[in-house]
Amino acid sequence: MQRLTLLLVGIFTTILASGQGKKPPQTPPPKAFVLGVIEEIDSKVLAEKRIVNIYLPEGYQAGDTVRYPVIYLLDGSADEDFIHVVGLVHFNSFPWIERVPKSIVVGIANTDRRRDFTYPTTLEADRKKFATAGKSGQFIAFLQTELQPHIERRYKTTSAKTLIGQSLGGLLATEILFKNPALFTRYIIISPSLWWDNGSLLAQTPAVASPGFTRPTDVYIGVGKEGLAANGLPRVMEVDANLLAEKLRAAKSSGLKVHFDYLPQEDHATITHQAVFNAFRLLYPARDQK
């Protein structure tokens, strides 16, 4: 009996020691979920460093021959519109949807959007309220002479370029369309702040209205139920957006296509995501892969 007891104790001790010697299974360390890359551009035009967030589509390889269109996004920092717009691009380029071609997205983070997205105003009240405003000319030069060349040198791009801008960003997109339309092939203009300088941009003749302008250019204009202008002028956002669409539609340019989209269930704060989704649907009606 004593021998049996000693034998059982020995077996139990061996099993216990064996169990204590085994290491628990190791959980692999978490991996980062990478959405894109961050670049810092030293802008001589703006005399400052600018951050751009860049999304490269699935399958992008620097060494292959495939090239991709580029979507330039104003208000493009991580805490602005970069993440959700990249999600829309990624979703719409799924092979079972294939509405939008796989694209590079360049999100331009802000430093002073009132400065960069507005042209000089004649209104004294606006000059006092927005002391740094009125430098859009420099920002457009940055896009044209520094940012676009940098992206085209560093990444495999096609000539197709889309610009997305909302609110003051929509104002800037409209100004570029009016003054330098060849900078982009597609314009997604959302809730543009055309009230700036009491709507003076709407009084100008856009370059795309010239009969000699034949370059294919697609324009989407989206606006929600947004009401009076932010600076208290008796201007209504929906009316100004309509006036912009009518002005462009009256142009004699054979290359210009204009889509107007009224979203009454959205306001100035909520419109961007739905409007970009709608813009993709309207600008790529036949799954155009150009």
- Which CATH number is 122's domain given? 3.40.50.1820
Residues of the chain with pLDDT under 50: 1-11, 15, 288-290
Q: Is residue 152 part of a domain?
A: yes
CA distance 130 to 197: 12
pLDDT at 238: 93
pLDDT at 20: 55
Q: Is residue 225 part of a domain?
A: yes
pLDDT at 92: 96
Say which residue the tokens 């203009």 belong to: 189
Q: Based on the structure, what is the number of domains in the chain? A: 1
pLDDT in tens, 254-265: 889 999 999 999
- 3-state SS, the chain, equals CHHHHHHHHHHHHHHHHHHHHCCCCCCCCCCCCCCCEEEEEEECCCCEEEEEEEECCCCCCCCCCCCEEEEEECCCCCCCCHHHHHHHHHHHCCCCCCCCCCCEEEEECCCCHHHHCCCCCCCHHHHHHCCCCCCHHHHHHHHHHHHHHHHHHHCCEEEEEEEEEECHHHHHHHHHHHHCHHHCCEEEEECCCCCHHHHHHHHCCCHHHCCCCCCCEEEEEEEECCCECCCCCCCEHHHHHHHHHHHHHCCCCCCEEEEEEEECCCCCCCHHHHHHHHHHHHHCCCCCCC
Q: Write out the residue range of the structural domain in which residue 110 sits.
A: 34-283
pLDDT at 152: 97
In one-letter notation, the amino acid at residue 149 is P
CA distance 45 to 48: 8
Q: Is residue 25 part of a domain?
A: no
pLDDT at 257: 93
A 10 A CB-CB count for 122 gives 9
Tokens of 193: 């702040």
Q: Is residue 16 part of a domain?
A: no
CB 46 within 8 A of CB 138: yes
CA distance 161 to 250: 24
Q: Is residue 140 part of a domain?
A: yes
Say which residue the tokens 């005399």 belong to: 47
Q: Is residue 8 part of a domain?
A: no
Q: Is residue 3 part of a domain?
A: no
State the angle between helix axes of 82-92 and 271-283 in degrees (0 to 180), rounded to the nearest 10.
30
pLDDT at 65: 92
pLDDT at 21: 55
Q: Is residue 18 part of a domain?
A: no
Tokens of 61: 């390889």
In one-letter notation, the amino acid at residue 270 is T
